[in-house]
Structure 1
Amino acid sequence: MRKNLLKQVVTKSSKELTLRCSKPSDAKELIEYLNIIGGESDNMTFGKDEFRLSVDQEETYLKALDEDNTSIMIVVTESNKIIAQGSIVSDKRKRFCHNSVLGISVRKEFWSDGIGSIIMDELINFAKQCEVTKIVTLSINTENKNAIKLYKKFGFDEVGIHKNKFFIDGKFYDEIIMDLHLI
């Protein structure tokens, strides 16, 4: 995948969206987006308004991703507003550099419209083109059944469980660890 990715995509409900690589100037809007989605469900590792990076910190992070040939963040926009994002971030340590961590999120109003699959396609294609990446890992709340189904569709296998990883509204939830082996 080219780091200058820009393309139009069409969802199951025929919405026309733009998929592109993130850029440092997205920092403020990404923070706002993440703080909104944190409150839309219990699927994230943070709640509403708990994503606490400053705009400068997020800009620095996005710039580092942009300069890294083994990591990428993509955003999906509707009318220039971010409605979904996904990333693959590779470990920089020599002994672990063949490992990458994948994460995606979609605004609730766009769930079940194929956007997760569109993002997964792009991210996995990117990982396959990286000669270094051999294993893509993700983690997920066991209650997020639709996402688990999506990840399995793309070839991810369950490799472990973190017991009681999430504590939401007075209740513990387990976390599933899933891997996709590209070797």
Structure 2
Amino acid sequence: MGIIVTEKEYLIRHGEWIDAEAILKIQRTVIAEGDYLITLAEEFNHTLEEQQHWINNILRNERETLLVAEIDGELIGFLVFQSPERKRLHHTGSFSIMITNEYRNKGIGKKLLEVLLQWAERNPVIEKVNLGVFSTNYQAISLYKRMGFVEEGRKLNEFKIAENEYVDDILMYKLVKGRQLGRRS
């Protein structure tokens, strides 16, 4: 699929099934940090075979994409965009980003998101890009707002962090084509 963007320090390209092991390593590392993710480390048990199967399914679906960021041949982060199976939701999809700790706050997440939005604009089916974010993840929320995402709703106390400690799930979206959202009469 080739390189999409080459920056001075890193490149962004479409992910491939051979990236499964490196993506799995990133997921395990980021999930173990425990910040801003639904999945706990003890819940994440993907095998390499399952990871390869997951990636192959994404690569076969025209409404989905996997982008990876690498430096000197080493994967340092990825973005995955997945679209629901239901036909009435085919025009939508949600993404998640994971970047290793040492490469955060260097513009890599923003660049991955820019490439996703360009891909979505060219995709013949995708019209709306969605995400969910912990209400305490101020840095991510700020980035999403700068990228044109708006809050669509909120699931109050959706995530239980500890006894009597809850966090809202902020739902955000950006239209990449199609009519403006609004209530139908």
Does the alignment reach a TM-score above 0.5? yes
Given the alignment of the two structures, is residue 178 of structure 1 paired with residue 179 of structure 2, yes or no?
Answer: no
Q: CA deviation at 1:40?
A: 2.7
**What runs of 5+ residues in structure 2 fail to find an aligned partner?**
179-185
SS at match of 1:38: helix
Given the alignment of the two structures, is residue 53 of structure 1 paired with residue 46 of structure 2, yes or no?
Answer: yes
CA deviation vs aligned residue, 1:2-59 (integer Å, no higher than 9, x gap): xx1314533xxx6x11211111122222112101011235112223354222211111
Q: CA deviation at 1:82?
A: 1.8
**Cα pair distance change 1:55/1:153, threshold 3 Å:** same
TM-score (norm 2): 0.88
CA contact (8 A) 2:34 2:41 kept: no
Distance 1:7 1:130 in 2: 15
The match for 2:99 is 106
Range with greater deviation from structure 2 (108-117 or 133-142): 108-117
Distance 1:167 1:81 in 2: 34
SS at match of 1:95: helix
Distance 2:85 2:72 in 1: 35
Distance 1:156 1:41 in 2: 25
**What runs of 5+ residues in structure 1 fail to find an aligned partner?**
none
Give 1:69-84 correspondences, 5 Å limit. Answer: 69-84=62-77
SS at match of 1:91: coil
For 2:161, give the aligned amino acid.
Answer: I
The match for 2:182 is none
For 2:168, give the aligned amino acid.
Answer: D
Distance 2:154 2:89 in 1: 21
The match for 2:23 is 30
RMSD, matched Cα: 1.6
Range with greater deviation from structure 2 (58-67 or 160-169): 160-169
For 1:134, give the aligned amino acid.
Answer: E
CA deviation vs aligned residue, 1:119-144 (integer Å, no higher than 9, x gap): 01100111111121111110000111
Which of residues 133, 142, 146 in structure 1 aligns to 2:139?
146
Distance 2:119 2:77 in 1: 17
Which of residues 122, 127, 133 in structure 2 aligns to 1:129?
122
Distance 1:49 1:74 in 2: 26
The match for 1:39 is 32
Query: Which one has a larger percent helix, Structure 1 or Structure 2?
Result: 2
Give 1:153-172 correspondences, 5 Å limit. Answer: 153-170=146-163, 171-172=165-166
Kindly tell me the number of residue pairs found equivalent between the two proteins: 176
CA contact (8 A) 2:63 2:90 kept: no
Which of residues 6, 26, 30 in structure 2 aligns to 1:9?
6
**Cα pair distance change 1:35/1:92, threshold 3 Å:** same
CA deviation vs aligned residue, 1:86-134 (integer Å, no higher than 9, x gap): 0211223211111111111211221211111110110011111112111
